[in-house]
Amino acid sequence: MRRVDLYDKISTITGIPEKDLPRNFQIIGKSIIINFRNNSPENKGKIAKAYLATLKLWSVYEIGRIDDAMRIPSTELLAGVRTPMTNVEDGIIYRFDPSVIMFSKGNKFERHRLTGKVRLGETVVDMFAGIGYFSIPIAPRVKRIYSCEINPVSFHYLIMNKKLNHAENLFPYFGNSGDFPYENVADRVIMGHFDSLQFLAKAFRILKNEGTIHLHAAERRNSELIGRKLDQLKEVVKYESRKVKSYSPSTNHMVYDIYVNKNKCKSDQ
Ligand SMILES: C[S@@+](CC[C@H](N)C(=O)[O-])C[C@H]1O[C@@H](n2cnc3c(N)ncnc32)[C@H](O)[C@@H]1O
């Protein structure tokens, strides 16, 4: 259903003017997660029931704050039942509970782009794997991908998604990626967390002498802070950045592809 038709229908059912309906929502499998604006609790309930019936969903959640470190959303179930959901994207099955785990459909292009960059037979470390958004599509191409995850609930779904997608080359690591035991092993390190910069030194240690890091960050528009930091690091041969999506009115979700040569650093000293 087109969004205009959907708003029209929800407005008719609830009696709430279209201009007052929330515009920011994400449908995942049979659930919808809505970021409400200034609607009253009574109107939220009406809107939730209308979505449940109109789109034949199982659950309607309101999203509140998102914990920064583990990216755990605080959600409230407004209508339906709380249950794990399955989202299928490009034939890959992602199963998770949207009430406690973030899933950003807005990162789909980045998932494609990254998978396309991985060369056959590489060893990859995904330092912030979540439920396997990056790791699962990459797994069939690589020799090994180590997928680190610190949150036990996300880790549970990472294991489930490994099994559902027969990702035999994916080796889950439960714990802090800062303590990941293998170093000098990876051709590529994925850092899909906004605190990635704090873990950059560890990523260098995980890489073989040469390799690539994909570092994600929430960065103020036109800020050059991360670029300036990378310019100072001797291991960095070059880097490119691109916007993944808008994150807030003043901030973009960015990804930096960083090409590293640790020998360059030693020979310069
Ligand atoms: C934003 S999610 C990213 C998931 C996925 N890479 C993506 O792009 O959609 C970040 C994940 O990193 C996990 N995490 C946070 N700090 C971590 C750490 N120190 N070690 C391992 N995992 C961590 C969180 O629990 C969360 O599941």
Indicate the pLDDT class of residue 58, thresholds 50, 70 and 90.
very high
Among protein residues, the one whose CA lies closest to atom 4 of ligand 1: 130
Q: Which strand (E) or helix (H) includes residue 231?
A: helix 225-231
> Which atom, in ligand 1's list, is nearest to the CA of 104?
9
Average pLDDT for the chain = 92
pLDDT at 136 over 60: yes
Cα 241 from Cα 193, distance rounded (Å): 15
Residue nearest to atom 25 of ligand 1 (CA): 70
Report the nearest atom of ligand 1 relative to the CA of 192.
Answer: 6
**Residue to substitute in 153, 193, 202 for testing ligand 1 pocket (most ligand atoms within 8 angstroms of CB):** 193
How many Å apart are CA 212 and CA 189, to the nearest integer? 6
User: What percentage of the chain carries pLDDT values higher than 90?
Assistant: 74
List domains and CATH numbers for the chain: 3-83 (3.30.300.110), 105-268 (3.40.50.150)
pTM over 0.85: yes
**Residue 157 near ligand 1, beta carbon < 6 Å:** no
Atom of ligand 1 nearest to the CA of 151: 25
CA–CA dist 242, 257 (Å, integer): 9
**C-beta of 29 in contact with ligand 1 (< 6 A):** no
Rounded CA separation 46/40 (Å): 10
Pocket of ligand 1, candidates 149, 200, 213: which has the most ligand atoms within 8 Å of its Cβ, to mutate? Answer: 149
What are the tens digits of pLDDT across the range 223-240? 989 999 999 999 999 999
The residues near 224 (Cβ < 8 Å, ≥ 6 apart) are none
Pick 201 or 101 by higher pLDDT.
Answer: 201
The rounded distance, in Å, linking the Cα atoms of 205 and 64 is 37
Do residues 255 and 216 make contact, with C-beta atoms less than 8 angstroms apart? Answer: yes
Which residues are CB-neighbours of 201 under 8 A, at least 6 positions away?
Answer: none
